[in-house]
Amino acid sequence: MELTTNSFVIADAKKCINCKVCELACAAAHNKNTCKTVGNLEIPIMPRLFVTQVGNINMPIQCHHCEDAPCAKVCLVGAIKNTDNKIVINEQECIGCKACAIACPFGAIELSTSYKSIANKCDLCNGNSKLACVEACPNKALSLVNLKELKENRNKKALLSLVNMGKEI
Amino acid 40: pLDDT: 58
Amino acid 1: pLDDT: 43
Average pLDDT over residues 53-72: 93
Average pLDDT over residues 5-9: 88
- Residue partners of 50: CB distance under 8 A and separation at least 6: 23, 60, 61, 62, 107, 108, 110
**pLDDT, mean over the chain:** 87
Report yes or no: 57 and 17 within 8 Å, Cβ to Cβ: no
Report yes or no: 101 and 80 within 8 Å, Cβ to Cβ: no
Is this model's pTM higher than 0.85 or not? no
